[in-house]
Structure 1
């Protein structure tokens, strides 16, 4: 991918980088805690009622789905940080135009301008 024709101002790049790093730290903490919550539990027939077992299995499923979404978001953030480093950050993957700074502030990991994201 080529560098963006209208690069972000240095202070804008720093704002975006700071936000991406904050999100990265938050996700890493969440993944660490959800990983512990997702560990299988011993659901013995004597100690846990049938409804409690079903609830425990549902909670484990929810935790697993949350972890998958967080891992996907983590990859998006890491990709955005790599694009910041290589100079391709802020270019729309669809049309190649610069993504407005306002959109990048709201969705710093985005790959598309608003028009292309809407399809």
Structure 2
């Protein structure tokens, strides 16, 4: 994967994350207390749904941070090189996730 392909893939993933945020905005909204129309179990289900949507939003934000860091490495000419040991990250690993910052050895704790 070359740098141009990486930029394209990263941009597409950011767009997908934004789309998913828009779709789940209602699920993350505060759960209102309406005892007259919603029973206690229904409200508990709604609160659980909200908590899961908020957790997913946090995961998407963490992925956005990794993508922003990958763009920074691309801009600095450091993309594709392990941030820990400085070795080249394998093509397959970058193709699978162009936002990875470490080689497999460092990511697995071997280095």
- Give the structure-1-normalised TM-score: 0.85
Contact in 1 for aligned 2:10/2:67 (Cα 8 Å): yes
Equivalent-residue separation in structure 1 for 2:3 and 2:26 (angstroms): 35
User: Deviation at 1:41?
Assistant: 3.1
Contact in 1 for aligned 2:31/2:50 (Cα 8 Å): no
- Larger RCO (CA under 8 A, 6+ residues apart): 1
- Choose from 46, 56, 64 the match for 1:74: 64
Moved over 6 A (4+): none
Which moves more between the two structures, 14-23 or 34-43?
A: 34-43
Any idea what SS the aligned residue of 1:44 has?
coil
Q: Does 1:55 align with 2:45?
A: yes
User: Deviation at 1:35?
Assistant: 2.7
Map Cα deviations across residues 42-91 of structure 1 (whole Å, 9 max, x no partner). 23111111110110010010011000010010111111112111111111
Residue 36 of structure 2 is matched in structure 1 by: 46
Contact in 2 for aligned 1:91/1:112 (Cα 8 Å): yes
Instruction: Give the unaligned 5+ runs of structure 1.
Output: 1-10
Residue 98 of structure 2 is matched in structure 1 by: 108
- Choose from 64, 76, 85 the match for 1:86: 76
Residue 29 of structure 1 is matched in structure 2 by: 19
Equivalent-residue separation in structure 2 for 1:116 and 1:28 (angstroms): 30
Equivalent-residue separation in structure 2 for 1:87 and 1:36 (angstroms): 40
Instruction: Give the unaligned 5+ runs of structure 2.
Output: none
